[in-house]
Structure 1
Amino acid sequence: MHFPFQGNLFNVQFPLTEYSQNKLHFPRRPLSGLSGVVIGTAFAWNSAATRLTRTFGNNDCTVNRDTDSGWYVDAAACYFLGTSVGGLILGPVMRMIGYRWSMIACDVIVLIGWLLLSQVDWAPVWITRLAHGIGTGGLGLLTPTYIAHITDFRIRGRALVFHHAFVCFGVFYAHALSAIVTDAQLTGICMVWPVLHIIVASFLPESPLYAYICCDDAEKTKSAMRRINGVDYDVNTDYAELERYVFEYECLIGENKCRLVRKIIAIGVKLVVLQHTCGASAAIFHAKSVIGGFGLTTEVAGYSDERVYANTQTIITIVFATQVLLCLTTVELVEFWGRKFMLNASAIGMGLCLASMMLYQSFFPTTDICTSAIESDEWHKYVPIILVCIYLCSYSIGWGPIVALIYAEVVYFNVSTYRIFLTNSTIFDIYNKQILKHYVTAQKWYSSLIYASGQFVLFLVAYVFFDAKALLGFNKYVMWTYIASCVISIISVYFCVPETRALPLNRILHRQLSANYCTITRNQ
C-alpha cells in the first residue's frame, strides 16, 4: 500500500496537538485540574456520606439495604447508571454543540445535582446522584478527548494522567472533609468546583479538530488554533498540514475501514471492561464500607463508633493521599516507560496483592479479620489491610489513569473521524448513500457506546454483585474473579493494545492498520 506524504507527515507532529514547544498551555492545566476534581468529588460522595448519615452498626461503617440507609445503596446504583447515560449521549451531543459547550452542560448537570442534594428534604437522593452520574460520565469521556486534541504529543500522556491525579485528589478532598464538616457543608464545598469549571470552560477555545471536521469552517479552525497558541501565532502552516493529514487518513484506511473500526472497538471494549472487573474501582467507590470494619481499635471492647470511624478515616486518608502521589509520579513515568508497561505493572501489583491475601488465608484461616480482637502477638492481622491498601494504590499507576489516555488516543478519535469520512465519501451512488446515512447515524454512537458499556460494567461490579466484605472477609470466589481479570488484562495488553507513547495520532493509526496487528505491537 502506498501512503502519500509518507516521508514527511509520518515524521511531523499532528497539527492539532503538536504546534510548537512555545505554545501556551493555559487551556490544559486548569481544565485538567478542575474537571478532575469535579469528577472525583461526585464519585466519592457515597463513601464519604457514610460518616454523615451516621448509620454505623457493630463498629463498622458498612451500609446495606437492611438498615435505614437503604437509600444510600440505591443512590450508588443511580450514580453508575447516570455515568452510563452521560457517556452514551455525549457523543451525539458533542457533535451538535461542540466540546466547550458540552463541558459547560456537563458541569451544569453536576451543579444541579449538588443544589438538589443541599435540599435533600424534598429532593430524593437518587435524583441528585443520577444528575451527578450523567454530568461526570460525560466529563469522564469529554475531558480526556479534548486534552488529547490540544496537547503536544510529547506530553499528551502526562497531561491526561495529570487529569486523573486530580480525580484522585477530588476523592481525597471529599473523604478528608467529610471527617470535619457537616453534610450541608460538604455539599456546599463540593459545589464550588463545577462553578469554577464552568467559568474556566467559558474561556476555552473550541477543539480545532471539531471545528475542522464537524463545522467545516476554516476560519473557526484557525481561530481555535490562535486561541491555544497566542494571537501572533501563524496557523497557516499547521492548517495546511491538517488538510494533508485528513487527506492521508482517508488514503490510509482505504479498503480497511470496517476492519479498522472492528479492531478499534475491540481494543476499547477490552480496556473499559477489564478496568472495572479487577474490582479496584468498586472498592475505591465504597472505600469506607470496604475498610470500615477494620478500625484498628477493636481489640478493646467498648470503643465508640466515633473512635472506630476515626481510625478508618485515617487509613482511607492515607490511601487516597498515596494515590494522588502515585498518579503524580505516573505523570513523569508514562512517557518514559510507556502505556503498556504501566498497565501491566498495575495489573501485576493488584494481582500479587490479591494472591498474597489468598496465601495469607491459607496460613491463617479466618473470615472475621474486621471484627475479631487483635492481640499483641497477632501482628499478622495487619497484613490483609496493608495488602488491600497496596492493591488500591496499584490501580492508580495504570488501570486508573492510563485507560482514559489510550481511549482518547486510539478509540475516540479514530472512530469519530472514520464516521466523518464515510459521510464525505463520493464513491457511492444515491441509493448507497441512503444506506450509508443510516450506517453513519449508528457510527455516531460507537465511541460513546463503548465508554458507556464500561460504566455499565462498573454498575454491575460495584452495585449488583458488590460485596463490601469480599476483600477483608476473604471471599474466595470474588477474589479469584479479580485475580483472573488481572491475568487476562496482562495478556490482552501485551498482545493486542498498541503502544502509543510519544506518537502523533497519525502514527497510532498507521500501527492499527498493520496486517499482523496483535503480533507486531507487543514489542513496539
Structure 2
Amino acid sequence: MSPSVFTLFSSIGCLISGYVADWLGRRVTIVACQAPICIGWLCTGFSKRRAITGIGSGMALAPPRIYCSEISLPNMRGVIGACSSLSVSIGIAIQAGLGKYLNWPVICYICSFYTVTNFICFLFLPETPFFMLKTKSLDEARAALAHFRARDYDLDKEIDQMRKFKEANDIRKISARERLSLLFKPSAYKPFTMVVVYIFISQIAGTSGVPIWAVEMLTIAKSSVDVDTGNFLMCLTRLVINCLTVILIFKTGRKPLAHVSALGVAVISLVIAIYTSIHKEPSLAPQILFMIYMAFASIGYYLIPFLIASEIYPLQVRGILGGFTVSVTGILMFGCLILTPYLLDSLGLTYMMVIFGLMSLLGVAYIYVFVPETKDLTLQEIEDYYNKRIPALVSQRRLQTLQDIGARRNKTDINVVERKSI
C-alpha cells in the first residue's frame, strides 16, 4: 500500500506546484519543492509514512518539464525534455541498486541529503524567458533568454517572435479569475483532454503496475533469476532505453516513438500471456520478456505524454495544466497500483497481460488519430495552432528551409539549361 499512498499524495503536490509555477515562477517552484521532499525522506527514514515525500515529489514533477520546454530551442526541446524522464530512470535504478546493499532508512537519509544539494544548486537558476514575458517586460525576457543562448546567437530574431506572440495572444500577468476562465477555452481543455486520455491508456496497459509489482509477477511467471535482481535488471533496462530514446527523439520526433512504444507493449504483453499459459517450469524467459516490456514502455509511454504536455499547453495556464496532468496521472497510478494485485489474484497473470496488450493496441489507434507531432515547432506555433491562428502544425522554420533549398535547386537548373543552350 505504501507506493500507492506515495502516488496518491503526489497528486496533491502537483496541484500546488502547478498554481505556484504560474504565480511565482518555474524557478521558485523548483527550489521550493525541495523542502517537502527533504522533510519527507527524513520522515520516511524514521517511520513508514510517505505522504510528505509524495506531496514534495508531486510538486517536483511538472515544473522541471515546463522549465526545460521554455528554455530550449525547438530542435533541442525533445532531447532536453527527454532528460527529465532519463533522470527519473537514473534515480529508480540507483535506488534499486542501493536497496540490495543498504537498508531502507539509510537510503532515505541519502535522498534527503541529495535534496539539500538540489536546493542550493537551484537557487542559481535563472527564470524562463516565457515566464518573464508573461509577468515582466520584453527587456527582462530578453535578459533571461540570453542566459540560455550562445553569445553569437541572434537574440533579436527570437525576441521579435516572442513580441509578436505576446501581442497576438494578449500575454500578460492575469488574475486568478482570468486564469480560471482560460482553463475552459478550447486551446486549454482540448490538449489537456488529449494528454490525459493518452496517459489513461498507458496506465491500463500496465506501465505502472508491471514495474511496481515486478517481484510478484516474476515469481508467478516462474523466473529462474532471483526476483530482486530481476527487478533491478528491469530498472536498468528502463535506464538504458531512456538513454537511447534521448538520441532517437532528436532524429525521429514524438509520434514514431509513441507508435513503437504502444505497439511493442501490446505485442510483448500478449507474448507474455501466451508464454505463462503454456510454460510452468522455472526459466530465464520471463525475465527477458518483462525486460522487453520495460524497454518498449520506456520508448514512449514513460516519456511522450509528459513531453507533449509541456509543449502544447497555453503559456498563461501552462503551470496549472501541467500540475493537473501529473495530478491526474498520480490518481490513475494509485488506482492501477491498487487494482493490479487484485487482477493478479482473480484473473491470473496470463489474462491480466492479455488486458494490458489489448489496451495498448487501443493506444496505437489513439496515437495515430489524436496525438500531434511537435518536433521542430516553436511553442508559439503550437499555441497559435490551438488558438486556430494557423491551419496546421507546420514548422515555419522548416518550411522556409525547404523553400530555400527548392529555390537554390531551381536556380541551379536554370543555370544548367542556359549553359547548354549556349
TM-score interval, smaller chain: 0.7 to 0.9
1:344 — aligned with what?
A: 259
What amino acid sits opposite 1:500 in the alignment? T
- Deviation, 1:482, is 1.5
The counterpart of 1:114, out of the listed 11, 32, 41, is 41
CA contact (8 A) 2:93 2:232 kept: yes
- 1:278 to 1:488, Cα distance in 2 relative to 1, 3 A: same
- Deviation, 1:451, is 2.9
CA contact (8 A) 2:37 2:52 kept: yes
CA contact (8 A) 2:269 2:357 kept: yes
- Deviation, 1:515, is 10
After TM superposition, list the pairs within 5 Å mapping 1:28-107 onto structure 2: 73=1, 75-107=2-34
The counterpart of 2:245, out of the listed 322, 325, 330, is 330
The counterpart of 1:400, out of the listed 302, 305, 308, is 302
- Deviation, 1:183, is 2.3
Does 2:377 correspond to 1:503? yes
1:286 — aligned with what?
A: 213
CA distance in 1, matches of 2:383, 2:141: 22
Does 2:358 correspond to 1:484? yes
CA distance in 1, matches of 2:393, 2:123: 45
CA distance in 2, matches of 1:249, 1:509: 9
- 1:93 to 1:171, Cα distance in 2 relative to 1, 3 A: same
Does 2:61 correspond to 1:159? no
CA distance in 2, matches of 1:333, 1:287: 27
CA distance in 2, matches of 1:517, 1:385: 48
2:412 — aligned with what?
A: none
1:184-234 CA distance string (max 9 Å, x none) = 322222223212221221110011111221x23345423322333478988
CA distance in 1, matches of 2:35, 2:9: 15
Does 2:137 correspond to 1:217? yes
- 1:212 to 1:466, Cα distance in 2 relative to 1, 3 A: farther
1:247 — aligned with what?
A: 167
What amino acid sits opposite 2:241 in the alignment? L
What amino acid sits opposite 1:312 in the alignment? V
SS in 2 for 1:280: coil
After TM superposition, list the pairs within 5 Å mapping 1:454-465 onto structure 2: 454-465=329-340
CA contact (8 A) 1:276 1:457 kept: yes
The counterpart of 1:148, out of the listed 63, 69, 86, is 69
2:187 — aligned with what?
A: 260
CA distance in 1, matches of 2:343, 2:92: 18
SS in 1 for 2:42: helix
- Deviation, 1:243, is 1.2
CA contact (8 A) 1:150 1:207 kept: yes
CA distance in 1, matches of 2:19, 2:242: 31
CA contact (8 A) 2:26 2:66 kept: no
CA distance in 1, matches of 2:354, 2:222: 26
- 1:249 to 1:97, Cα distance in 2 relative to 1, 3 A: closer
1:340-372 CA distance string (max 9 Å, x none) = 11011011111101111233345x1x7xx5xxx
CA contact (8 A) 1:81 1:133 kept: yes
Normalised TM-score (structure 2): 0.81
- 1:472 to 1:173, Cα distance in 2 relative to 1, 3 A: farther
- 1:385 to 1:406, Cα distance in 2 relative to 1, 3 A: same
Does 2:196 correspond to 1:275? no
- Deviation, 1:283, is 1.9
CA distance in 2, matches of 1:238, 1:191: 40
What amino acid sits opposite 2:298 in the alignment? S
CA distance in 2, matches of 1:503, 1:281: 30
- 1:314 to 1:151, Cα distance in 2 relative to 1, 3 A: same
CA distance in 2, matches of 1:359, 1:471: 18
CA contact (8 A) 1:84 1:456 kept: yes
1:82-124 CA distance string (max 9 Å, x none) = 121111222212222211111112111111111112322xxxx
SS in 2 for 1:153: coil
After TM superposition, list the pairs within 5 Å mapping 1:142-221 onto structure 2: 142-213=63-134, 215-221=135-141
Unaligned 5+ runs, structure 2: 172-183, 400-422
Quick check: which one's helix share is greater? Answer: 2
CA distance in 1, matches of 2:118, 2:367: 34
SS in 1 for 2:67: helix
SS in 1 for 2:148: helix
CA distance in 2, matches of 1:470, 1:334: 39
What amino acid sits opposite 2:129 in the alignment? P
1:439 — aligned with what?
A: none
| Count of matched residue positions in the alignment of Structure 1 and Structure 2 | 384
CA distance in 2, matches of 1:318, 1:453: 29
CA contact (8 A) 1:294 1:312 kept: no
SS in 1 for 2:300: coil
